[in-house]
Amino acid sequence: MITQLRITSRIPMFLLTAPLLSALAAPLAAECVDYSKDPAGCQPSTFDTPIGQMPSVRVNAKGEIDPFSSEQDARAGVARLEKELHLFRNMEHIHWVLTVPSTKDPATGAWRGGDLDAAGDGRGLGIAGNCIFVGHQNGPGRKHAINIFKIQPDPEKQPPMQVGEIPAMFEGNQGFDDRELRGLVYKTSQGEDRYLLARNAGTNTIGRMETYWIDINTCLPMSKSEITDFGGQSHEFFLWHDPANTNRVLIYMTNWTSGLPDQEHPGLKTPDLFVLAATDENTGEMLPKAKLLATFTLQEVGGPPVNEKPDATGLFSDGRFLDFSDNKNLLGRGGNFQNNEQNRLHSLSVLDDGERAYIAGTTAGFYVLDTEAIAHHRDAELAAGAAGCNQRSTIVSVNGAIDSSRLPVVANDCLHMVINNDPGLKAYLASNASDQAKAQRYLVLLTRSRFDVYPPVNATPTGTHSAVFVPNRPAQVKGNTKGRPAYVWLTDENGGCPLNYARMVSVESEITPIMVGAFSIPDNQLDECLTQAITEPNGARRQIVAQQNHNPTVFKNLVFNTWYGHGLRVIDISIPQTPREVGYALTLPHGIARTYPVFRDGLIYWVDNKTGLHVAKYTGPRANELPGPGSGVYEGNATSPHR
pLDDT at res. 189: 87
pLDDT digits (tens, 9 = 90+) for 97-112: 999 999 999 999 999 9
Does the residue 322 lie in any domain?
Answer: yes
Tell me the CATH number at 290.
2.130.10.10
Which residues are CB-neighbours of 213 under 8 A, at least 6 positions away? Answer: 194, 195, 196, 221, 222, 223, 224, 286
Q: Are 51 and 589 in contact (CB under 8 A)?
A: no
pTM of the model: 0.94
pLDDT at res. 30: 63
Q: Where in 47-192 does DSSP place strands (E)?
A: 88-89, 91-97, 103-104, 111-112, 122-128, 131-136, 146-150, 161-166, 170-171, 174-175, 177-187
Q: Are 200 and 144 in contact (CB under 8 A)?
A: no
Of 10-14, 167-171, 252-256, 426-430, the one with minimum mean pLDDT is: 10-14
β 347-350/401-402 pair status:
unpaired
Does the residue 9 lie in any domain?
Answer: no
Q: Residue 40 pLDDT > 80, yes or no?
A: yes
Does the residue 599 lie in any domain?
Answer: yes
Q: Residue 27 pLDDT > 50, yes or no?
A: no
β 502-506/111-112 pair status:
unpaired
- Per-residue pLDDT, averaged over 368-372, amounts to 99
- Per-residue pLDDT, averaged over 619-643, amounts to 95
Does the residue 643 lie in any domain?
Answer: no
pLDDT digits (tens, 9 = 90+) for 576-605: 999 999 999 999 999 999 999 999 999 999
Does the residue 25 lie in any domain?
Answer: no
- Per-residue pLDDT, averaged over 415-426, amounts to 98
Residues 238, 239, 244: CA angle, nearest 5 degrees: 125
Range of the domain at 318: 51-634
Q: Residue 543 pLDDT > 70, yes or no?
A: yes
Among 569, 560, 557, which residue's Cα sits nearest to residue 634?
560
Q: What is the mean pLDDT of the chain?
A: 94
Intra-chain end-to-end CA distance of the chain, in Å: 64
Q: Are 179 and 123 in contact (CB under 8 A)?
A: yes
Q: Are 169 and 213 in contact (CB under 8 A)?
A: no
Q: Residue 5 pLDDT > 60, yes or no?
A: no
Alpha-carbon distance of 80 to 617, in angstroms, equals 19
> What band does 31 get if pLDDT is binned at 50, 70 and 90?
confident
Does the residue 303 lie in any domain?
Answer: yes
Number of helices and strands in the chain (H, E): 7, 37
456: preceding bond cis by omega (within 30 degrees): yes
Does the residue 14 lie in any domain?
Answer: no
Q: Residue 454 pLDDT > 60, yes or no?
A: yes
* Radius of gyration for the chain, computed over Cα atoms and rounded to the nearest angstrom: 26
Which backbone phi and psi does 440 adopt, to 5 degrees? -65, -50
Does the residue 15 lie in any domain?
Answer: no
Q: Are 148 and 220 in contact (CB under 8 A)?
A: yes
- Per-residue pLDDT, averaged over 68-77, amounts to 98
Percent of the chain with pLDDT over 90: 92
Q: Residue 244 pLDDT > 50, yes or no?
A: yes
Count other Cβ atoms within 10 Å, centred on residue 444.
Answer: 10
- Per-residue pLDDT, averaged over 536-561, amounts to 97
- Per-residue pLDDT, averaged over 566-575, amounts to 99
Q: Residue 283 pLDDT > 60, yes or no?
A: yes
Percent of the chain with pLDDT over 70: 95
Which backbone phi and psi does 164 adopt, to 5 degrees? 175, -170
What one-character-per-residue DSSP string does 367-400 give? EEEE-HHHHHS-HHHHHTT-SSSBSS----EETT
pLDDT at res. 248: 98
Instruction: Give how many domains the chain has, as a whole number.
Output: 1
Q: Residue 508 pLDDT > 70, yes or no?
A: yes
Alpha-carbon distance of 43 to 583, in angstroms, equals 9
